[in-house]
């Protein structure tokens, strides 16, 4: 008597409750075995290479390295079958449909989860590595332009999830492992690096003036010379920031004249 090998599963999601939800649902599926979990993209990529699972539940939106960065890091040719997990990403959902790659839209129920498992097992059993590789490479390529810029940030605070439009942001401040978005009298923390946030912003609207500060150019009222080649940047709301010498050229390029 022969038995069908269990499908080895890795869960990559930065939210502990999301990982627990998937792990709990898999406990009722004897054909699947959870071989590991990762709470961020970097660890997820390392775990895929080390554990070589058959199937990965991969969160799309994670701070730092997101789901597509994981594919980039591992390489499409080394990726197992993927079920993407996402709270909402209209670009990603459309691309998943086009390339016939399965996804779970949070929150999902047991019935939808079992559909994903059935599709994954069927595709794993009949597909060759080249097919998965081509589809993953195509989806990463398709989504690169959409990921390059964003017109809003997702903020999670006090049990709420809401969007902040980039055009409404006055300035952005580094805050440890987070950045703080200053919007009028409000401020919102999001778990991102300054470099990652800067890469998502339109250079026509925002400019980095300091290692710790990015400003909305439309909110700059005036500049005043300070010491050692630095300037004080006054925003329309009265906020004072520092333009450091290392970032002066960036602002000069934006305003089109020498400072």
Output the six-digit token pair for 172.
Answer: 């952005």
pLDDT in tens, the chain (259 residues): 556 689 999 999 999 999 999 999 999 999 999 999 999 888 898 899 999 999 999 998 887 678 888 887 787 778 888 999 987 666 577 667 767 678 888 888 999 999 999 988 888 887 655 677 777 777 777 776 556 677 788 787 877 777 888 999 999 999 987 899 999 999 999 888 787 788 788 888 899 899 899 999 999 999 998 888 889 999 999 999 999 888 887 777 666 655 5
pLDDT tens for 181-192 read: 999 999 999 888
Bond before 189 cis per omega within 30 degrees = no
Other Cβ atoms closer than 10 A to 27: 9
pLDDT tens column, 4-18: 689 999 999 999 999
What the block records as the tokens of 20 is 């627990």
Taking phi first (over 0 means left), then psi (-120 to 50 degrees means alpha), and beta for anything else, what does residue 6 get?
beta
Taking CB atoms within 8 Å and a gap of at least 24, the contacts of 159-167 are: 161/87, 164/188, 166/201, 166/202, 166/205, 166/206, 167/205, 167/216
Chain centroid to CA 216: 22
- Looking at the DSSP assignment, which residues form a beta bridge with residue 55? 9, 81
Q: How far is CA 5 from the centre of its chain?
A: 33
Q: What's the pTM?
A: 0.57
Distance CA 17, CA 7 (A): 22
């Amino acid at each position: 008597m022969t038995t069908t090998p269990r499908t080895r599963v890795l869960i990559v999601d930065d939210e502990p409750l999301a990982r627990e939800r998937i792990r709990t649902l898999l406990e009722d599926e004897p054909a699947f075995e959870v071989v590991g979990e990762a709470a961020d993209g970097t660890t997820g990529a390392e775990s895929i290479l080390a554990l070589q699972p058959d199937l990965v539940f991969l969160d799309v939106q994670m701070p730092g390295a997101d789901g597509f960065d994981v594919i980039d890091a591992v390489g499409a040719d080394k990726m197992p079958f993927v079920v993407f997990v996402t709270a909402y990403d209209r670009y990603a959902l459309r691309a998943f449909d086009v390339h016939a790659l399965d996804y779970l839209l949070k929150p999902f129920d047991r019935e939808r989860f079992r559909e994903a498992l059935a599709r994954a097992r069927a595709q794993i059993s009949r597909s060759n590595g080249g097919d998965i590789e081509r589809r993953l490479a195509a989806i990463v390529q398709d989504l690169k332009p959409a990921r390059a810029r964003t017109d809003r940030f997702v903020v999670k605070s006090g049990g709420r999830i809401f969007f902040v439009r980039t055009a409404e942001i006055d300035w952005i401040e580094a805050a440890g492992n987070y950045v703080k978005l200053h919007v009028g009298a409000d401020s919102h923390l999001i778990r991102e690096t300054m470099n990652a946030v800067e890469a998502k912003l339109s250079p026509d609207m925002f400019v980095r003036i300091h290692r710790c500060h990015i400003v909305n150019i439309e909110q700059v009222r005036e500049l005043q010379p300070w010491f050692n080649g630095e300037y004080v940047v006054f925003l329309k709301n009265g906020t004072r920031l520092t333009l450091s010498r290392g970032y002066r050229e960036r602002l000069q390029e934006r305003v089109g004249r020498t400072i």
